[in-house]
Amino acid sequence: MKVLGIDIGGSAFKGAPVDTKTGRLLAERHRVPIKSPCSIAEGADAARLIVHHFGWDGPVGIGFPGIVHEGRIGAVGNLGKQWEGRDGAALFRRATGRPVTLINDADAAGRAELTFGAAKGKKGSVLLLTLGTGIGSALFHEGVLFPNSEFGHIPHRGKPFERYASAAVRDRLDLSWKQWAGRLNEYLDAVERLVSPELIILGGGVSKKHDKWFKYLRTRARVVPARMRNDAGIVGAALAAAAARR
């Protein structure tokens, strides 16, 4: 099945058509920059622009950076509180004129890694963490997703841990790879105390450079880079939309 996947991040909406049987992108990703926090009008327009860019007339899957229950948006981080309580699936359906399935963005990335990437065929507990503007999380046990885990919001010194250890923090503070990995180790220790995964998959754009910082990580679980890299959110959103239409 061919589905348009859209991944919403803290700085841009990114989308591409996906072959959901293979996980392959069928065209180069199209990126629409946004402000953070992002107004609802700006977000709706960004989704519309991606749909129009590809001339898309089929189903659309969208990975949203916040809690999502049956298309309705719960707590939201970097995108802004104005999204909270909205029927996100209906909102984007009106904006694009296409059938829309909405899913938490990290859960979408986790679906992609479970189906085509580093979590494929893995047993036990698997935790995917996406490192970008914030820290997204997806937790699986025996291939079953526990949705909306949002482990980036674990408190640390009175603030969400993602404000201390995300990839955006490394860029903003110009931290060395070793300095940033030290912060990430603090975060990973907190997460492992909560859920004790057997495998941790680290994704987001920074995973492309994992050779520069993995050597500094200290975890009990085995740690591997995401195979789908920055395409995971797009592919997983498309998978969610395809599953909703079965």
pLDDT of residue 77: 86
% of the chain residues with pLDDT over 90: 95
Q: Which amino acid is at 40?
A: I
pLDDT in tens, 28-53: 999 999 998 999 999 999 999 999 99
pLDDT in tens, 159-185: 999 999 999 999 999 999 999 999 999
pLDDT (average), residues 132-150? 94
pLDDT in tens, 82-137: 999 999 999 999 999 999 999 999 999 999 999 999 999 998 999 999 999 899 99
Is it the case that residue 246 has pLDDT exceeding 90? no
Whole-number Å distance between alpha carbons of 92 and 74: 16
- 3-class DSSP state of 176: coil
Closest CA to 13 of 72, 57, 79: 79
* Alpha-carbon Rg for the chain in angstroms: 17
Ordered domains of the chain (ranges, CATH): 2-107+232-244 (3.30.420.40), 121-226 (3.30.420.40)
Averaged pLDDT score across all residues of the chain: 96
Please tell me the chain's helix, strand, coil percentages from 3-state DSSP, rounded to the nearest 5. Answer: 40, 30, 30
CB 166 within 8 A of CB 203: no
Relative to beta strand 24-25, strand 66-69 is: unpaired
pTM of structure: 0.93
The DSSP annotation for 87-137 comes to BHHHHHHHHHSS-EEEEEHHHHHHHHHHHHSTTTT--SEEEEEEESSSEEE
Give every CB contact of residue 70 below 8 A, 6+ residues apart in sequence.
none
Is it the case that residue 153 has pLDDT exceeding 90? yes
